[in-house]
Amino acid sequence: MQTMIDASEATQKAVDMLMATLAEFAKKNKKLLAELRIIPLPKFVELAGRNQMADFDKLNICSQAILLLEQFYAHFKFKRARYAVDPVQRIKLLREDCPNKEDILFHSEIIKVFAELRDVHTQYGLPRPYRASVAFLPFFVEYFHDDKGIKHYLVSEILDGFNPDPTEGFKSYTEVTAFNGVPIDLAIDILAQQIPGGNEATRTIRGTMRLTVRSLSTCVPPDAHIAYIEYLAPRIDGKMELRTIAVPWYVGIGFGFGDLKAVAKKTSTNSVCGPLADLARVKSLLWKHSELDHASQPVVANSFELTLPEIFEVHHSVEAEPAENPELLDEHLSWSKRLGGKKRRFGYVRIKSFATEDAGPIRDEFFNILQWFNENQFATEGLILDVRSNPGGSIQDAEGILQFLTPAPITPALFHYPNSHAVQSALAAAKDPQDGKISNKLSNSLDFIKSQFADWTDGLAVGVGSGTPITEGRRITSVKDANNVGQLYQGPITLLIDAASYSATDIFSGGFQDHGIGPIIGADDNTGGGGAKLWKHEADVEQLAPALGMGIETLPQGATFTTAICRSSRVLGNSMEPVEDVGVKCDLRHKLTYVDRVLGSKDLLAFAMKTLDKLPSHRLQIENCERKAKGLRVTVKASTNVERLVFLVDGVPQFVAQLKAIKPTAKQLRDDLGMINRSFTAPSEAISKKTHEVELQGFARCRVLRNGQKNTDSKLELVASSRFHLPRAKKQQ
């Protein structure tokens, strides 16, 4: 007979220890943790039941949902055709039945309607006390693949003090085989069908994440107050046996970011997955307490002082070994060993999120990280950029950092509003100059409309009657802002993604691929598939009310909606392809292994380094520019595999210089990576006293292109770029 263990006492002990730990952090940052408390799930359900919603409030929610979908949802016609659903009709039927629905059933129905759209951007946010509350079990589960490609599920994080099995059979890296009596694969598949997500990989990874941590901002509490977890435990004779623990659910109130306070204040650039942002917050509170200190002090990573440690994680293979025993097979395996050892020169940068309160700091921090890599030659063999599980944030920051990684000019993604009556009215209001005195509310509403719609007022579809579902595309990130700095890192690059890379991260990954920056390696087949700008009902939609009317109202008791207001499309070789649902498909696939789960992605990083080894490396640097009588004397340092230089003056190509192949000496290869100094004189007619910037673009002919594809046509590829800002010419006396 299978062993059954009651984990109630162990769970309560772990929760008590957690609250004691969080109380210590609350002393340092009362604003961050002041409202936190943890109660058993039955007590939370009782608390939620005390504050029943009036029928007219439910009717209001239904009316606002219909208005939102018909007038503001950018993917409405696309989703209705793709999934054969009619969310508006379902909500109209629910509206008729409101008086007969208990609150929890009403909320559940609204959630189901929005889940059928399979869009994490467009969801119903439950009212208080669900909002910003999270139901959780004291452990987290993740999957890996064995040699045959079969998935297995491991306990990856466990709450301090949670030790329910007297023989210590339930701990980190324990394999879970069933959940509530259902085989774990099937249990996650059933859960995944209830979760928004436009592709299988997204639903699977989010179903796994939701197994033991559920944001009540966007889903109702678990039906059962106790979860039964079946797992493999070692016996005395060394063999494995099945055991089951009965674990009570608890609810953390104030744990989540259900109101999306964690994302940028400037919502016009915002694209974030709320549930993933919630999960990141909860994981910090439950298992990574040190991250709570990040907001108050900078963190030194490998001698680089990170000012945004909640955003970036930085490593390189040159770093010293840690004091811990390097033979230990745990998370303390040094990053130097993970990245190939001291003899290799690989850099690693993880971008955990693109969400900050203001636009700009992420770009600045990433610029400084790459400068630090360059100055110390820490990543001369390649850079591994990791955006796995990045929930998104600022679109402008995400697109703005692409220019640092490629010599090619960046073409930002296009965005399209729904071609609805509300949007056409907003466009008309954005163009209409206001004469005379108007109220502050109307003035603020018009200012908001102009900030959101000004770039879309010209060249649009001809009214709603045209039948065009979306407006013409415009850019959120201007071409100028996307190219105002240029390439900074010139080595080979690979990008790591998974199906939890979402929102602005989808757009970043699409830009990375569209511009051929490097191969994308997927822990899953694709990114999450969230290609849109997001609006919140209370922060954005309500601002339209004074100018447009249309029955826009405030939602009751803190309930909210989020919606994909602007649909993105890709550019260049993938022009007009959507990101929504399909995501960005990886170029190479690496299924996460047991070693990846236990040793911090060791096999994945080895695969990435092997990929980088196959890519060509090029260098090009303007050492100096001097104005001469005959023109501009330019000193260039270039790797010997650069065959052609194109000179641009203030962005305009002026002339081309062909380079002869020069075999570097052994010392040059060792000291300068095979780079040779060369000097040229730019013709005087190309240079004027007003000349401000000189750019050199280097071209090379390689068998393998920068994106990892074979160069079947043997064409020259743009491989490196360098810019030099000239001082203004002095005025003659």
Overall average pLDDT of the 274-288 stretch: 82
pLDDT at residue number 327: 45
Chain position carrying tokens 């435990």: 233
Give Cα separations from 46 to 51, 104, 703 (angstroms).
10, 12, 67
Chain position carrying tokens 């005390």: 50
Q: In this predicted model, what pLDDT tens digit does every residue of 14-70 receive, in sequence order?
A: 999 998 888 877 776 666 566 788 999 999 999 998 888 899 999 999 999 999 999
Overall average pLDDT of the 80-109 stretch: 91
pLDDT at residue number 652: 83
pLDDT at residue number 261: 42
Contacts (Cβ under 8 Å, ≥6 apart) of 322: 332, 334
Q: Tell me which residue of 313, 284, 309, 311 sits closest to 25, measured CA to CA.
A: 284
DSSP 3-state of 102:
coil
State the pLDDT confidence band at 326, using cuts at 50, 70 and 90: very low
How much is the mean pLDDT over the chain? 85
Question: What's phi and psi for 155, nearest 5 deg?
Answer: -75, 110
Longest dimension (CA), the chain: 100
pLDDT(185) > 90: yes
pLDDT at residue number 689: 63
Q: Which of 77-81, 354-358, 637-641 comes out lowest in average pLDDT?
A: 354-358
Judge contact between 616 and 623, C-beta under 8 A: no
DSSP code per residue over 573-636: GGTT-B-TTT--B-SEE----HHHHHTTSHHHHHHHHHHHHTS----EEEEEEEEETTEEEEEE
**Stronger pLDDT, 297 or 204, i.e. the higher one:** 204
pLDDT at residue number 314: 93
State the pLDDT confidence band at 71, using cuts at 50, 70 and 90: very high
Q: Tell me which residue of 695, 631, 641, 694 sits closest to 664, measured CA to CA.
A: 641
pLDDT(504) > 50: yes
CATH number of 286-412+480-531+581-613: 3.90.226.10
DSSP 3-state of 290:
helix
pLDDT(305) > 60: yes
| CATH fold match for the domains 286-412+480-531+581-613 and 620-725 | no
Polymer length of the chain: 733
Distance in angstroms (rounded) separating the CA atoms of residues 516 and 245:
50
Residue 510 tokens read as 């699409």
Q: Any idea what DSSP says for residue 406?
A: -
Q: In this predicted model, what pLDDT tens digit does every residue of 441-455 receive, in sequence order?
A: 888 999 999 989 888
pLDDT at residue number 328: 41
pLDDT(460) > 70: no
176 pairs with which residues across the strands?
153, 231
H-assigned helices in 261-387: 274-286, 335-338, 361-376
CATH number of 3-49+132-253: 2.30.42.10
Residue 497 tokens read as 């993604």
Percent of the chain at pLDDT > 70 equals 86
Residue 552 tokens read as 């826009």
pLDDT at residue number 680: 62
**Stronger pLDDT, 711 or 414, i.e. the higher one:** 414
**Stronger pLDDT, 50 or 683, i.e. the higher one:** 50
* Nearest-10 crossing angle of helices 274-286, 8-28: 100
Judge contact between 568 and 415, C-beta under 8 A: yes
Contacts (Cβ under 8 Å, ≥6 apart) of 653: 646, 647
pLDDT at residue number 279: 84
Q: Tell me which residue of 300, 511, 541 sits closest to 409, measured CA to CA.
A: 511
Q: In this predicted model, what pLDDT tens digit does every residue of 374-404 receive, in sequence order?
A: 999 899 999 999 999 999 989 999 999 999 9
CB atoms within 10 A of CB 380: 19
Q: Any idea what DSSP says for residue 551?
A: T
pLDDT(669) > 60: no
State the pLDDT confidence band at 714, using cuts at 50, 70 and 90: confident
Q: In this predicted model, what pLDDT tens digit does every residue of 232-278 receive, in sequence order?
A: 998 877 788 999 999 999 999 988 765 444 333 444 457 888 788 88
Q: In this predicted model, what pLDDT tens digit does every residue of 344-374 receive, in sequence order?
A: 899 999 999 998 777 688 999 999 999 999 9
Domain boundaries, the chain: 3-49+132-253, 55-125, 286-412+480-531+581-613, 421-466, 620-725
CATH topology of domain 620-725: Immunoglobulin-like (2.60.40)
Judge contact between 36 and 254, C-beta under 8 A: yes
Q: Where are the beta strands (DSSP E) in 358-497?
A: 382-386, 392-394, 414-416, 493-497
pLDDT at residue number 32: 59
**Stronger pLDDT, 107 or 329, i.e. the higher one:** 107
Q: Which of 27-41, 191-205, 296-310 comes out lowest in average pLDDT?
A: 296-310
Task: Sheet with 133-136: list strands edge to edge.
Answer: 37-40, 250-253, 133-136, 213-215
pLDDT at residue number 642: 87
pLDDT at residue number 307: 87
Query: Ramachandran region of residue 46, left (φ > 0), alpha (ψ -120 to 50) or beta?
Result: alpha
Q: Tell me which residue of 506, 624, 620 sits closest to 564, measured CA to CA.
A: 506
Overall average pLDDT of the 157-177 stretch: 91
Distance in angstroms (rounded) separating the CA atoms of residues 41 and 56:
28
Overall average pLDDT of the 524-549 stretch: 90
Judge contact between 382 and 612, C-beta under 8 A: yes
pLDDT at residue number 192: 87
Q: In this predicted model, what pLDDT tens digit does every residue of 565-624 receive, in sequence order?
A: 999 999 998 988 889 999 999 999 999 999 999 888 999 999 999 999 999 888 899 888
CB atoms within 10 A of CB 104: 16
pLDDT at residue number 691: 63
